[in-house]
Structure 1
Amino acid sequence: MVWEALVKAILLGTQRLGKRPLAEIVPLSEEIEPLIDGDSLEAQILQGLAIASVQRQAGRRFPKLEVEDSPGVAPEERLPVCSAAASRRLEEILAGEEVPERLPLWLGWAQRCQVRVPPQFLPALLEVGRQGRNLRPLLLPVLGDRGYWLAAQNPDWAYGALVVVGVTAQEGWREGNLPTRLFWLQQMRRQDPALARDCVREVWARHKAGDRTEYLKTFHQRLTAADEPFLLEALGDKSQQVREMAAQLLTQLPESEFVQRVTRWVAGRLRRSPQGIIVTLPETMTPEMRRDGVREKAPAKLSRPHWWFLQQLARVPPRVWAQGDEIDDWLQMAADHPLKDLLLEGWAVAAMGYGDVEWGRRLLRWPIPGRLEEVQGRDRRLLGRLPQEEREAWILAHLQAHPQTMSKRHPSLSRLQICEWDWSDGFSRAIFQRFCQDILASQDKYDWAVRATFRQFATWMNPHLEAEFRERLLPKMKPQSYWRQTVEAFLAMLRFRQELQEAFSGSCGSCGSSETAENP
């Protein structure tokens, strides 16, 4: 709190703060206040920052130690530290302005190579993890035992103190707050799903709905038919969010009683006739539908009966309706139906959930709304199910069918934004060449969406193509082009990834030259 308050004071400026003493502006402790004796408010703020900086490095709020409360010595490390070259790359990242883009790549390599962070960077990384929850899954495995120990000394870093040497998963599950319990529950789901399920059942009735929902989310790991009886019980929960999560999990078990029941419900309302597809929408929300986690309130511009039917359709395995070439017949009939968007979206979400490649590759050709699932997330998963060669061929064919200049409204741009895999050299060169044409033709035009997407490509292209791309584009660009900064940032990211790969090559024998280490 002291550090944040001091930074806020600096941003406001001492003139706006008036002539108040520092103790009225910043919550100083009784121990710290006597240490600040500057003859001006500016000097006192600088003194406060110096003390607060030591606090942050120490990992514990100062001063708080009593002899009997002193923390034990940090345990021996089990992971080797990363190489000196990798350490230098990490130092450059933390000192730079592109931490959100570059740090995940470094952490991905460290996790893949099973090495830990050098100890001098632990405070800075723990602080980054405090501010950015999305980085924690990458950060936690590489903190090392000293990192877990250090995190336990500072309440702000409690998320990093979940791993305790010598504590079993069951012991960790019984103690601590929700994040701690979830961490250990995830460990148990990986190692012994039955034990994890029994632990949840033991506390189910005593814990609040939000916690019960979070417990169920861990069942995504190693979900099997053995979990079905417990999930069916959860369908009877008083909480809507708990019922929805239980239904979502049961949908991943195609042979479950739940899926069979929902399939019968939808089959009674959706059938094929010589005239086309016939849909009979439900008239009322029944207790059975509510029990199965169907949300009653519909989003804007969609009636409740349409909404209820869409949710149920999305839970039925697409192969129930058709397989092989017959899928095209169903999609064509849907295209001529008044409920076209409803049918296509329900099938798309179902194909995503069940991993149905046959339906997925066909549905990707259609523009489909996203009321149940966000469009990009859904299409990313559908595309990700296809073999890489087919994925890349599909994207290139889509680009070829839309030769107009790239813009935020270009139909291929959203498709390119979900190409999150390590691209082949041929695909990389084809995409780069297409963008080269547009960049050189529109150097004085600004389109943020196109530029952001182009920069994103540097995360997935082979970094060893950097020199080739630099030679093909930069000499042809105007010095003052709006695009020049974006292109230079793109090339810098490729060069950074190349350096990162070389930095970890000495300490990561299992990685070889694989690019997948960056995105584990």
Structure 2
Amino acid sequence: MTGTPAPTDPSAPAPTPVPWPSVVPTGSPPTDATAPPAQRRADSGTGAGTGPGTDADTAGSSPGADAVAGSGTGARSAPPAVAGAQPVPGRLPAASSAHASGSGPGVWEELVTSALLGTDRRTPPGGERGPGAAAALLDAAAAETVRRRAGLRPARAARRPDPAPEDPRPPLPEAAARRLTMLLTDRPGTAGGGRRGSAPDLMELLPQWLATANARGFAAPPQTLPALLDAARGRTDLRPAALKFAGPRALWLARFNPDWRFALRATPGGGTASPGSGATERARRLWAEGLFAERVALLAALRARDAVGARELLASTWATERAEDRLMFLDSLRTGLEAADEPFLEQALADRSRNVRATAAELLSALPRSALAARMAARAATCVSLDRTRTPPAIVVEAPHECDAGMERDGVVAKPPAGRGERSWWFGQLTEAAPLATWSARFAGRTAEEIVALPVSDGWQGELHAAWCRAAVRQRDGVWARALLGAPTAPDAGGPGAVSLAERAKLLGTLGAGERAEWVAGFIATHGLSEAFQLLGMCGVPWATPLGRAVVDALNIARDAGSYPWSFSGVMGLAERCLDPSEAGRLDGLLAIPDEPEDASPGAGWYWAEAFQRLVTTLRLRAAMAEELRAGP
């Protein structure tokens, strides 16, 4: 604006100010709010047709101002009566007097709608149809713009936020900091035809990078905190490692952006409930006043370092919690489950929620010396016996004929799922809840391997072995897990007790990392990769040398056979993240395009060469990442 207000008499009384509505201003204030809109347009030097949509008049205003400026016909010349009007203190222009008593988003939206549709089709608010409708619309928009800009009274300045806390951890080495920026911002290109191409998938390497950086105890560079929080927001699997690496400054930053509030919920008290003076009182206040997610995170964190304190905190409000909340809170007791939890869990068996009762029963059955485990053992023993009259002796199963109140109280669900018989359903629940030590005593001191090898009569073997699998996983019993897994080279690809690939994967989780890798390597060497994906996911990273070589050899065999390469994309992706980077040198011979057999998939050789190229490139990138993080700051 370049207009100059008319001189006034200093001795004259000040005009009464217009009671502008309280709306948020969206641009710079006008220089002369008292002049009529047409006069202000003339003063600005841009002509009467400039309107409130120009940069000089509405910079930063709402979308739609440009539409208002160009609406209707005759918008480039204001009516003489309006153009020659003199400013009257305390009054709005005539064009907007009809809506002088109301302002805000509703009026502005009506003006924008009229501008978009045209004044011939939509009469501006407070105006009339005719040749002056377009100019009246512009006048009303100008007045509304003034209201939107100048209608908010200045508020008191907010208190300056406390400075971000210091992070005492050593800074990242420079090369590692550059690598982190690349991992957070770069995206691999996609080759034609939907293929991944030979470029590594950098985002899939971020979890491993974060784990290594956390193990080394480095602090995140401050400039990477927003990108780290954004990455953790989009991928929940990244959150624990990302928030640990980001440190206390990320929690400080998260308070200023609602999109990052998950960081406060994931950390008990938003970082304020750390051990120390007053920590107990802060934890109790958060437990009483916090959001549900904050309370769950607090209970889980407290359980990890103080099992007794977490249990007492939960018991203090247990009776007043909602059923769905009680279920989630009870599930946190899996961490550090101990015999001292039994009294609380026994009380939960009488809970009014069936799901809560079932979870409490499951936890109690994981304590082999609990009273519930003893009750389940007595029930299961009456259902299973050894028939010594047969050669060899065989296991005989007599499933329960009813589900009484005592069984239901101990967590047995009476109604089976669709397609499942009642008796087999009840029998499976009893057997999986009984301590596995029950069976050695029941079968004359036989070992787990000997018991699993016994024949089972009347088609009950699958049901019995499946229940033992679940019991071995629940009780973390490696002896029974080995017996049920059997030898990895067995022709039936899973041993006598593993009824499914999922059961085998769960049983592997009870073994040590070395034994687990050795078993899966033997399985792959015998049965190939067709069923190995889920088993490989249970192995530690990086893969042990025998396992890694078994995977590479199996991939090479599949390539030479001309197999369909996309069938192995999942295993290849795992290999990129889990194979030891030192194996990259062994793969150089696989980068050439192989000769395709006559019955091979068309173009399979090119795809295999590309996949192995990506694998080698990723392994060497992982080796470089590890070296950068080993360097000193």
Instruction: Provide TM-score, normalisation by structure 1.
Output: 0.77
Q: Within the alignment, does 1:183 sit opposite 2:303 as a pair? A: no
1:145–1:452 CA distance, 2 compared to 1 (3 A):
same
For residues 194-220 of structure 1, the C-alpha deviation after alignment (integer angstroms, 9 at most, x for no partner) is 111111111111111111111112212
Q: Which gives a bigger RCO, structure 1 or 2 (Cα 8 Å, sep 6+)?
A: 1
1:353 aligned partner:
474
For residues 90-118 of structure 1, the C-alpha deviation after alignment (integer angstroms, 9 at most, x for no partner) is 21112233355212112211222222322
For residues 62-112 of structure 1, the C-alpha deviation after alignment (integer angstroms, 9 at most, x for no partner) is xxx973365332222243332222222221112233355212112211222
Residue 271 of structure 1 aligns to a residue whose secondary structure is strand
1:392–1:166 CA distance, 2 compared to 1 (3 A):
closer
Gaps in structure 2 of 5+ consecutive residues: 1-57, 68-154, 188-200, 274-278, 487-491, 596-602
On the 8 A contact 2:524/2:551 being kept in 1, the answer is no
Gaps in structure 1 of 5+ consecutive residues: 1-30, 41-64, 509-520
2:180 aligned partner:
90
Residue 74 of structure 1 aligns to a residue whose secondary structure is coil
Equivalent of residue 246 in structure 2, options 143, 147, 167: 143
Equivalent of residue 616 in structure 2, options 491, 515, 518: 491
1:236–1:446 CA distance, 2 compared to 1 (3 A):
same
On the 8 A contact 2:232/2:242 being kept in 1, the answer is yes
Q: Within the alignment, does 1:156 sit opposite 2:259 as a pair? A: yes
Q: Which structure 2 residues correspond to residues 119-268 of structure 1 after superposition, within 5 A?
A: 119-161=222-264, 162=267, 163-167=269-273, 168=279, 169-268=283-382
Q: Percent identity?
A: 29
On the 8 A contact 2:593/2:606 being kept in 1, the answer is no
On the 8 A contact 1:213/1:245 being kept in 2, the answer is yes
1:507–1:270 CA distance, 2 compared to 1 (3 A):
farther
On the 8 A contact 2:396/2:457 being kept in 1, the answer is no
**Distance apart, 1:336 and its partner CA:** 5.1
1:106 aligned partner:
209
On the 8 A contact 1:277/1:337 being kept in 2, the answer is no
Q: Within the alignment, does 1:435 sit opposite 2:538 as a pair? A: no
Q: Which structure 2 residues correspond to residues 16-95 of structure 1 after superposition, within 5 A?
A: 34=61, 67-68=157-158, 71-95=161-185
Residue 205 of structure 1 aligns to a residue whose secondary structure is helix
Q: Which amino acid aligns with 2:338?
A: T
1:497–1:453 CA distance, 2 compared to 1 (3 A):
same
**Distance apart, 1:466 and its partner CA:** 1.1
On the 8 A contact 1:345/1:368 being kept in 2, the answer is no
Q: Within the alignment, does 1:465 sit opposite 2:492 as a pair? A: no
**Distance apart, 1:349 and its partner CA:** 1.0
Deviates more, 1:152-161 or 1:79-88: 79-88
For residues 493-519 of structure 1, the C-alpha deviation after alignment (integer angstroms, 9 at most, x for no partner) is 3122212211211259xxxxxxxxxxx
On the 8 A contact 1:379/1:418 being kept in 2, the answer is no
For residues 373-431 of structure 1, the C-alpha deviation after alignment (integer angstroms, 9 at most, x for no partner) is 9955643342243345543443343334336xx5xxx3555544543443222332233
1:227–1:456 CA distance, 2 compared to 1 (3 A):
same
Q: Which amino acid aligns with 2:473?
A: M
On the 8 A contact 2:513/2:539 being kept in 1, the answer is no
On the 8 A contact 1:79/1:144 being kept in 2, the answer is no
On the 8 A contact 1:235/1:293 being kept in 2, the answer is yes
On the 8 A contact 1:116/1:142 being kept in 2, the answer is yes
Equivalent of residue 592 in structure 2, options 458, 461, 475: 475
Q: Which amino acid aligns with 1:198?
A: E
1:12 aligned partner:
none
Quote the Cα distance in structure 2 between the aligned partners of 1:69 and 1:379. Answer: 59
Quote the Cα distance in structure 2 between the aligned partners of 1:248 and 1:219. Answer: 11
1:191–1:494 CA distance, 2 compared to 1 (3 A):
same
2:54 aligned partner:
none
For residues 135-171 of structure 1, the C-alpha deviation after alignment (integer angstroms, 9 at most, x for no partner) is 2222221221110011122222212123545442334
1:335–1:399 CA distance, 2 compared to 1 (3 A):
farther
On the 8 A contact 1:344/1:368 being kept in 2, the answer is no
Give RMSD over aligned pairs: 3.1
1:327 aligned partner:
448
1:456 aligned partner:
574
Residue 173 of structure 1 aligns to a residue whose secondary structure is helix
On the 8 A contact 1:380/1:419 being kept in 2, the answer is no
1:117–1:337 CA distance, 2 compared to 1 (3 A):
farther
Q: Which structure 2 residues correspond to residues 284-433 of structure 1 after superposition, within 5 A?
A: 284-322=402-440, 326-334=447-455, 337-365=458-486, 378-402=503-527, 406=529, 410-412=530-532, 414-433=534-553
On the 8 A contact 2:395/2:457 being kept in 1, the answer is no
Quote the Cα distance in structure 2 between the aligned partners of 1:105 and 1:271. Answer: 50
**Distance apart, 1:295 and its partner CA:** 2.6
On the 8 A contact 2:521/2:546 being kept in 1, the answer is no
Residue 467 of structure 1 aligns to a residue whose secondary structure is helix
Residue 395 of structure 2 aligns to a residue whose secondary structure is strand
1:221–1:507 CA distance, 2 compared to 1 (3 A):
farther
1:144–1:374 CA distance, 2 compared to 1 (3 A):
farther
On the 8 A contact 1:355/1:385 being kept in 2, the answer is yes
Quote the Cα distance in structure 1 between the aligned partners of 2:232 and 2:226. Answer: 10
Quote the Cα distance in structure 1 between the aligned partners of 2:300 and 2:533. Answer: 36
Residue 484 of structure 1 aligns to a residue whose secondary structure is helix
**Distance apart, 1:263 and its partner CA:** 0.9
Q: Which amino acid aligns with 1:320?
A: T
Residue 255 of structure 1 aligns to a residue whose secondary structure is coil
Quote the Cα distance in structure 1 between the aligned partners of 2:615 and 2:413. Answer: 44
Which structure shows the bigger proportion of residues in helix conformation?
1
1:52 aligned partner:
none
Quote the Cα distance in structure 1 between the aligned partners of 2:440 and 2:453. Answer: 13
Quote the Cα distance in structure 2 between the aligned partners of 1:74 and 1:35. Answer: 35
1:60 aligned partner:
none
Quote the Cα distance in structure 2 between the aligned partners of 1:224 and 1:427. Answer: 35
Q: Which amino acid aligns with 2:227?
A: A
On the 8 A contact 2:400/2:423 being kept in 1, the answer is yes
Q: Which amino acid aligns with 1:472?
A: G
On the 8 A contact 1:455/1:486 being kept in 2, the answer is no
1:56 aligned partner:
none
Quote the Cα distance in structure 2 between the aligned partners of 1:359 and 1:493. Answer: 39
Quote the Cα distance in structure 1 between the aligned partners of 2:179 and 2:527. Answer: 41
For residues 428-469 of structure 1, the C-alpha deviation after alignment (integer angstroms, 9 at most, x for no partner) is 2233123212113216x2443x22112212322211221221
Residue 278 of structure 1 aligns to a residue whose secondary structure is strand
Larger Rg: 1 or 2? Answer: 2
Residue 220 of structure 2 aligns to a residue whose secondary structure is coil
On the 8 A contact 1:311/1:346 being kept in 2, the answer is yes
On the 8 A contact 2:593/2:609 being kept in 1, the answer is no
Q: Which amino acid aligns with 2:167?
A: E
